[in-house]
Structure 1
Amino acid sequence: MQQIQEAYNALASEYAANNPKSKAAYEAATKSLPGGNTRTVLFYEPFPLYTERAEDCHLWDVDGHKYVDLLGEYTAGLYGHSNVVIVEAIQAALKRGLSFGSHHTDEARLAQLIRDRFSSIELVRFTNSGTEASLMALAAAKIYTNRPKIMVFEGGYHGGGFLFKSGPHPVNVPHEYLMAQYNDTDSVDELISTDGKDIAAIIVEPMIGSAGCIPGAPDFLTHLRAKATEIGAVLIFDEVMTSRLYSGGGIQSELGITPDVTTLGKYIGGGMSFGAFGGKAEIMSIYDPRTTSITRKGASVPHAGTFNNNVLTMAAGSAGLEKVFSPGVARALHARGDELQSKLKAVAKGTIMRVTGCGSIMAIHFTATPSERIHSIRDLDGHNTFLLDTLHLYMLSQGFYLARRGFIALSLEVTATELDRFVEAIHGFLRHYDSLVSE
């Protein structure tokens, strides 16, 4: 551990010396923001970089350094930083007016495009984030079933109010949670045997995202579908991150599993603030503002949000799905991600570096557990976060921007040349710190 600390300290000192303007900007921010921060995931020691501008797949910080952006705004930056189609759509929307306070045709346009991508979604409603989408989807499930409990999974993340990395978090929305183990059908069945009649929803990420990009096994996800049907619970797939995978219809479309409700977010807003939840008309109709509907009698449930249908998100999102991110483009990006993962695994042979993920979304870990045996957050017990911190600073010094926790999400703008340079930089790290990473 001392050797790793010494390696990190050397890189941190070099980083501080090379980024005086970012350091000054951070210190100024601490006067108005707690810890100089208003988005926890962006903070890292010794201080975070401050970006001045961005174009295509590149970032420039306030000290003038250029980086290849491999973070991809945690999957939201699918289109890169300056896609012409997206920019033109936003500019055209700006010319029509910033905020209408009324219905407009782009909201129905984006809704139809989403329905076309996800056969499980019959009706959809918009929010401003994936967190809000989870809030409203779970509310719908509890109202629809008239049941109190929610099944979640250790390591799951469904937004800022739904953190389950090592048990429920104090900031969580106060539902009655039942926590099962990811990719473990026995743990699911055990909870259902005691609480099945009280479970309103089973909410799951088809690939755990923030806790390490751990894919759900097809038989595990299929089992959840069967059990939810058996007990009359609402199955919610959180595809906020994974909706971009395969042909752009998410993991559910590739596996042929139909959830009752799906939550969405990130890239679908075209780089603007976005969230959505949608699914069976019978469930979604509880939000129908008409006094009665075909599927429901009585008053509807309110769902407010000043910017739910904001003109910039609706325009950018529609342009992206309609004109840029076709199923063919999605498949090509997915294949590029699979290829990158294969190359990273090849250069990591003989070391404790592991790569997990699916297509263009992946994560690097330093652990003795082989990649193919990482099925839940528990399989990452003992993984070396100090080495991840060291890797992060090293990659910044080489001109590559990724998450401190080793998370990577490719944009459409990243080319094979840049990815090959990244693989070589990773190889350089592993060679340079051979004594720290060898198996």
Structure 2
Amino acid sequence: MSAAEMLRNSDLSSTLDEARERYVAAHPRSRALHEAARQVMPGGNTRSVLSYGPFPIAMERGEDCRLWDVDGHGYLDLCGEYTAGLFGHSEPRIHAAVQAAMARGLNLAAVGAAEGELASLLCARFPSIDLVRFTNSGTEGNLMALTAARAFTGRDMIMAFRGGYHGGVLLFSLNGPAPVTVPFPFLMADYNDTAGAVAAIRAHADRLAAVIVEPMLGSGGCIPARPDFLAALREATREVGALLVFDEVMTSRMSGGGMQEQLGITPDLTTLGKYVAGGMSFGAFGGRAEVMALFDGRLPHAGTFNNNVLSMAAGRVAMGAIFTPEVAQALFGRGEAMRAALNETLARAGTAMHFSGIGSMATVQFRPAPIERPFVQTEREEALRELFFLDMAAAGIYMARRGMAALSLPVAEADLDRFVATVGEFAQARGALLPRAGEMP
């Protein structure tokens, strides 16, 4: 390492230490809550994505696209509950639907009208969904979709992609399945590596039940799949008799019928997540009628809260009255314009820092574009990502710790302008620490 690089790393380290100190000083009640929680919960939390240093911000309340923490600070919420909070915190029509459902009774142990109406809405919107069933989360939806694929094909192996995330027990690092991932036989491939993925599908045709893929990696960095890559997966799975599963828990927000509609690529099965039920506990899996027919008496699918009255009532309003295809298209356009403005601002600053993503989802990156697959971040990138999060929080903008933004419907143009301006201020204030255009960190 050159003397200049050593000095630059030293400057970043000292700057990050100062930002941490300011964060700690500004959030004494969050710190106290964290320390108390550590006495009764491992790590002081019960959700790994909310575990970060020095300690996580504890929120007290939310309204529209605003949050207030326990120390009294207000924030523009650009985390959007990691895409599940599409409708913000106080959509009156969803609140009214949930309150009305509560007034009629919580646990009825029976079917109801709302679940059929929500199912009809989803079958009408997503090209691949002939029939659909509900779960409590996207994780469960993906587990059931893969189980259906294994039963339908009579095969046992699943292909997944390094850096993919399909739920708490379907997590794939760059080295393969995480220790908590269910013990299905997995075949790993690289995202956006068309030749490698197709070759692996053909080589394992006798055992391969399904290929599961996100049309854009979400927690993997908002890295879009190339259309030709997804099209090749569609062709290769059809060729060998395996099922193609699109995990659209996140990307289904990109149009009225998700990325599959936008790209004109129809998978065999699709999974959906919590925003569909207005941010309530919810997941879904659906697809070809002959595959889903397995659940008409041949495969069991239990779950006390699969059709819980709160999620069903909220989902019927969320997808029927609020998040129409027209609204979805408008949100997509606003997100595209936001990311273009962010990247134009950063390009003018002469830095390699940029935002990857599609539509209303974006993640900050500290290396040159384009990025086509997940990568091992350098220590410098990790430090810059933390500094960005701390600076945004200090400026009253709440994002995912990993630097992801997921817009909710209440976010206004003025909010987006503020975000772009704040990122521009970050690039100016921290410019000496950021990689220059074309430079790797």
Give the TM-score, by structure 2 length.
0.94
Aligned to 2:47: 39
Shift in Å at residue 163 of structure 1? 1.3
In 2, distance between residues paired with 1:222 and 1:202?
A: 13
What is residue 34 of structure 2 aligned with on the other side? 26
- CA contact 1:130–1:266 (8 Å) conserved in 2: yes
Amino acid at match of 2:351: T
Match of 2:406 among 406, 409, 419: 409
**In 2, Cα distance between equivalents of 1:383 and 1:172:** 29
Deviates more, 1:60-69 or 1:163-172: 163-172
By how many angstroms is 1:381 displaced? 6.8
8 Å contact from structure 1 (residues 366, 383) kept in 2: no
- Cα distance, 1:381–1:11 mapped onto 2, change above 3 Å: closer
| Conserved 8 A contact 1:133-1:263 | yes
Correspondence 1:11 to 2:8: no
Name the aligned partner's letter for residue 336 of structure 1.
R
Aligned to 1:355: 355
Cα displacement (A) at 1:383: 7.0
User: Structure 1 residue aligned with 2:310, among 312, 321, 330?
Assistant: 312
1:18–1:36 CA distance, 2 compared to 1 (3 A): same
Out of 63, 77, 82, the residue aligned to residue 71 of structure 2 is 63
Shift of 1:189: 2.3
| CA positional deviation for 1:352 | 2.3
Shift of 1:43: 1.4
Match of 2:222 in 1: 213
* Alpha-carbon distance between aligned partners in 2 of 1:301 and 1:278, rounded to the nearest angstrom: 14
Assess if the C-alpha contact under 8 Å between 1:154 and 1:182 holds in 2: yes
Distance 1:390 1:21, change over 3 A: same
Identify which of 247, 250, 265 aligns with 1:241.
250
Runs of 4+ aligned structure 1 residues displaced above 3 Å come to: 378-383
Q: Does 1:334 align with 2:342?
A: no
- Between the two proteins, what is the percent identity of the paired residues? 52
Q: Structure 2: which amino acid aligns with 1:181?
A: D
What is residue 49 of structure 1 aligned with on the other side?
57
Aligned mates of 2:283, 2:10 — CA distance in 1:
44
Counterpart amino acid of residue 338 in structure 1: E
Give the distance between the partners of 1:381 and 1:306, measured in 2 at CA.
44
The residue that corresponds to 1:425 in the other structure is 422
| Other structure's SS at 1:80 match | coil
Q: Do the aligned partners of 2:131 and 2:288 also contact (CA within 8 Å) in 1? A: yes
Matches within 5 A, 1:289-300: 289=297, 300=298
Amino acid paired to 1:128: N
Deviation at 1:229, TM superposition (A): 0.5
Q: Are 1:274 and 1:313, in contact at CA under 8 Å, matched by a contact in 2?
A: yes
> How does 1:85-96 map onto structure 2 within 5 Å?
85-96=93-104
| Alpha-carbon offset, residue 35 of structure 1 | 1.1
Say if 1:382 and 1:224 are closer, same or farther in 2 by CA, change over 3 A.
farther
Secondary structure of 2:204 counterpart: helix
Note the 1:389-404 alignment, pairs <5 A. Answer: 389-404=386-401
Preserved CA contact (<8 Å) 2:202 2:236? no
Q: Secondary structure at the match of 1:376?
A: coil
Q: Give yes or no for contact 2:198–2:233 (8 Å, CA) kept in 1.
A: no
The C-alpha deviation readout for 1:267-294, integer Å capped at 9, x for no partner, is: 10111011000001100111113xxxxx
Q: How many residues align?
A: 425
Amino acid at match of 1:218: P
Q: Please state how far the C-alpha of 1:140 moved relative to its aligned partner.
A: 0.4
1:90–1:315 Cα contact (<8 Å) kept = yes
Contact 1:80 1:413 (8 Å CA) reproduced: yes
* Alpha-carbon offset, residue 379 of structure 1: 8.6
Paired residue type of 2:396? G
Per-residue CA deviations over 1:227-264 (Å, capped at 9, x if unaligned) read 1110000110000000110x231100011111100011
Q: Does the 8 A contact of 1:272 with 1:316 survive in 2?
A: yes
Equivalent residue for 1:168, pick from 165, 177, 182: 177
Native 8 Å contact 2:366 2:384 kept in 1: yes
Letter in 2 for 1:85: R
Matching of residue 388 in structure 1 with residue 396 in structure 2: no
Letter in 2 for 1:395: M
| Conserved? CA contact 1:241–1:266, under 8 Å | no
Cα contact 1:120–1:260 (8 A) shared by 2: yes
Q: Counterparts of 1:120 and 1:383 in 2: how far apart (Å)?
A: 42
CA distance in 1, matches of 2:169, 2:190: 20
* Structure 1 residue 13 displacement after superposition: 0.7
The match for 2:213 is: 204
Distance 1:387 1:68, change over 3 A: same
- Report the Cα offset of residue 197 of structure 1: 1.7
| Residue 180 (1) aligns with residue 189 (2) | yes
CA distance in 2, matches of 1:187, 1:307: 40
Unpaired segments ≥5 residues, structure 1: 290-299
Specify the code of the residue in structure 2 equivalent to 1:220.
Answer: F
Q: CA RMSD in A?
A: 1.2
Looking at structure 2, the residues matched to 241 and 255 of structure 1 have their Cα atoms a distance apart, in angstroms, of: 15
Contact 1:385–1:405 (Cα < 8 Å) also in 2: no
**Distance verdict in 2 for CA 1:248–1:407, change over 3 Å:** same
Task: Give, in angstroms, the shift of residue 28 of structure 1.
Answer: 1.2
* Equivalent runs, 1:47-196 vs 2, <5 Å: 47-166=55-174, 167-196=176-205
Q: Spell out, residue by residue over 1:180-220, the C-alpha distance to the aligned partner (whole angstroms, 9 max, x if none).
A: 11111111122123211210001110111101011111111
- Partners of 1:413 and 1:383 in 2: CA distance: 35
Cα-to-partner distance string for 1:79-110 (whole Å, 9 max, x where unaligned): 00000111111111111111111111111111
